[in-house]
Structure 1
Amino acid sequence: MAGFSDFALHKTIQQAIHDMGFEEPSPIQEQCIPKILEGVDLVGQAQTGTGKTAAFGLPLIEKVTGQNAVQAIVLTPTRELAIQVSGELMKIAKYKRVRTLPIYGGQSIGHQIRALKQGVHVVIGTPGRVLDHLRRKTLRLDQVRMLVLDEADEMLDMGFQEDIESIIKETSSERQTLLFSATMPQEILRLSRKYMNAPETVAISRKEVTAPTIEQVYYKVFERSKLESLCRILDSEEIDLGIVFCRTKRGVDELTEALQERGYMANGLHGDLSQAQRDKVMQSFRDATIELLVATDVAARGIDVGNVSHVVNYDIPQDPESYVHRIGRTGRAGRKGIAMTLITPREMKQLRTIEKISKSAIESRTVPSIEEVMERQQTIWREQLIALVEGDSDMTPFMEVVRQLKEEYPLEKISAAALSIAFSSSISPGEEEVYDFGETGASNGMVRFFINIGRSVEIKPPDLIKEITELVGISGKSIGRIDIFENFSFVEVAKESAPFVYEALRHSRMKGKRINIEPAKPRAKRQ
């Protein structure tokens, strides 16, 4: 497999890749980057989460020159994706003087006009807002050398075909055109034939993969409380040795440091370590002087330690093949093992793909509560205390303190205070993800949401139930009353599932339409 250093990319971009923590190209990057650098038009078929933004972003930033004009434009279906792509391109251009600008509806057009007047090299925008700027003459595309259509199938589903064609006509016929799409319907193929010059196709095919027969579970977590959730899970498990997987080298360093600060015996492993450092970390892991190895996929290749009891996907793997490779680190030689994956709301679809392709049944579990963790910890503390009391440890210095204190305080209180000092760091409650949706006019124990789709897109209650259960990973029993009107709907969900439903649907689409979900107003309450 090629490394990023094998691509004809400037050292400033290579440095940015290093800073971003990427170790080696994903399959789509490995195949697309050399072709795009050669200047050919390209059609790439790949799912979200396969690294396609860097697949076009790295060569795009490489090709931008110092000329003060818009030299590249990336069209995306939504403002969320425009912001995300813009952020990625800014990281790639960290050491190169390239100005990028996301333009989308919902943001002040005056702000965008001022930024465009100051000079921008790369525009990332939604078709509607880009067309608006073209009509106002505040954006010129006659100097564009590269046009990227990102998630083209979604743009067409959302009715942007005419807008896209109008924008393409404003660009030079000498441009390089790149089209990325998860699916290849006839409309996409017609678009590519009409506006692309002998495009080459890169399709990342799904290999047949089968997961090992070990216990597989996932925990629904929120991004902001991911670390706290991981700590609770670790504290409630009996771990012999565990491998925790992160997506990037930076992620490994940050998580390792955070776990060490909380008293876990953890160390990190990634490609930036020297061979001597890697050997030292691996020896500590084999000797069980550390219990948690935090690693990237690349660093964990070839690890063959027989008694790994737990594999934790702190970051969801980018494809089913990586998932199978990761979880294969446990359950060796007939031993028991468990694979745990932390899933944020926007990653549920990716998990469903992994389940389907790897033919896995991944069970849903709830992150342990503080009380459950405390109960588990109490058993451990009791065992440690008994071992000390019955052992031959010298406790003379502490006995004198106890003798002095027991003259004024009961022994029970003294013991509890001593335990509190000794173990307070391991029972820190951390940050809780708190959602208060207020009064929404729902039945008892439920939360009622407003959703911006209705009969106009031919949606019915069974469709809504199917979409929500699949997207959120909850039972249909958690969904209550549904009221569907022409252009919007109301749906009730169980209070404990409401935060995840809210987060998951905010980043999703139904019937090709971007979902807007809000807690219902109290006046909608039924009498």
Structure 2
Amino acid sequence: MKQTIADALSQQGYDSLTQVQEAVTDPELGHSDLLVSAQTGSGKTVGFGLAIAETILGAADRFDNAAAPLALIIAPTRELALQVKRELGWLYAKAGAQLASCVGGMDMRDERRTLARGAHIVVATPGRLRDHIMRGSIDMNALRAIVLDEADEMLDLGFQDDLEFILASAPESRRTLMFSATVPRGIANLAGKYQTDAVRISTAAETRQHADIEYRALSVAARDTENAIINVLRYYEAPNALVFANTRAMVNRLTTRLSNRGFSVVALSGELSQAERTHALQAMRDGRARICVATDVAARGIDLPSLDLVVHAELPNSHETLLHRSGRTGRAGRKGVSALIVPPAARKKCERLLRFAKLTAEWGEAPSADEVRARDGDRMLADPVWQDAVAPSDAATALVARFSAEQIATAYVALYESRHSAPEELSAPGPAGKPEPRAPFGPSVWFSVSGGKKAGVETRRLLPILCKAGGITKDDIGAIRIQYNESYVEIRSASADSFAATLGPNMTVEGDAKVTRLDKAPDLGGSSRPGGKSSDRKPYGGKPSGHKPKPHRGAAPVEPTPTPTPAPAPAPTPAPAPAKPAAKTDSTPIDWNDAPTPRVKKPKPTAKAKGAAKPASPPRDPKAKDTSQPYRPHGKPLAGKRKSRTAEPGKAPPVGKANSKKNKARAAAAKARGGDKPPKRRAPKS
């Protein structure tokens, strides 16, 4: 190992190398290509930095003046690329290395100027690097090593074409190293195509579960998933926590919910700009935010020093993603917890993910409200302030003189709890794969509320109003029936008296709506609109119930099929229908049950004999006044008298405006022909 590299490791506090770092720095490997698979957080970044040191430095301990890049590091995301640049920056600082980054979201002109000044190592994302290669901004001829970090993730993100273009543009004599948490078939095919006699390195830690990560699968009710996330965050109170969701919409939803509950939270998703993502991560590192809600792609490459908790709000779609998510914690020897929120419908999916990832999780229920409060008490008593020496204070002396010890202790506990969000009450999870059956509601009392559909009352608005005004929860409310002018609410008998007492003597809720306690359940069998029961309504089309359509005029009457049911009461004889008007062609009344009368067609006029002379038009009176009008555009009066366009003898026929070359040439040709002679026709081309 180069002395400058060893000094940098000692300065960072490295007493020994990790397993993957020792494996890639084995002297027997020489300058061969490597295909390395190791767990996330096992020190791969420093590992490939050490692996390429001999290749790019050669026999020297320091770099010469920066020119064309000697090493190229490719990472799937911007955050990971910038993290790799920071790690290699301190590793090669004493060797005088110049590093440059080429990532999406940054100004490409600044990157081109940096590359033009020269760099020894370039860290880039695939898409931006391909743009620089196609524009000629980067010189690939001097490359000695190419490293693909998180190669499996780059293939999952659709960067295979970009990677093949980059590898094909690099010199064939370069050294190619691929680092990945897993080695799927796509990575193996890529390695076989662009690596030469690659050495496969698989650390022993890959075959067993990460010892520094505790996996917990928490069964929760389907309606309590977000409440369970709040309780998990409150139970552990980690300095930094990462909550994973599958979509941007879910990220925004969880961020809003946690922010409303008093958590210091930031969001990280693909819709944010690079500056916004950088500010969010900086807030996590500075301690201004404790919780980050992110998607899988946005969180790839996040390295927070105190990330002790990872919460899977939604289960990932593959076991590789589960390993990458959980690998954000348990890094550099720190312990971490990876908690999976598992509703009943996702139980089998969670078991399948854990089995494919070769992980063993501890199954249980999400922390209850009582468990969170008990954990708060333990943390309060474990605070180092109880062990500090008591220093005299005027404020403390005044409190002791004024209040008793119980009052001071009670006030301290209340103030301590006020600084934390209250935990949520969770219901018991239902059986796996089945919807949770609702418990029987039991005895109930009905109340009427003035106002119904006519006043715009809706169930989703009425429910929170009743809960807030009556001091009850949604579990105390059964059915809600919105009628036209009035609404009815079913409340559990055990809560009915307290509900009425909380409303007060006026028995009103928001908007001065009057609430009345009923002696019995309301009759809800009628129509919700005024006008009687629902049986009085006319069916669709406005026809009375029981209406039978008349048969077609030409169809034979159909006899009803006799049934064993008793015959209904005879219906009143309907009034005779008015007689229909007779047809114009016949005075006989029409029998509507008979076949329809054929339509009488008008005879067609006889065809004119071929060659027959056309009837001559009447002779025109020469003294008659000509009433024909010349053509003029619509809405414009005729300007002057219409001129004849017939050519006079010896003159060319009049043409349009003579301001074009074509009209002038046509007038000259007509004048040359004599004016009254038609132009000769050209013979058609053969």
TM-score range, shorter chain: 0.3 to 0.5
- Highest RCO, 1 vs 2 (Cα 8 Å, sep ≥ 6): 1
- Compare the two structures and name the one with the higher helix fraction: 1
TM-score by length of 1: 0.45
TM-score by length of 2: 0.36
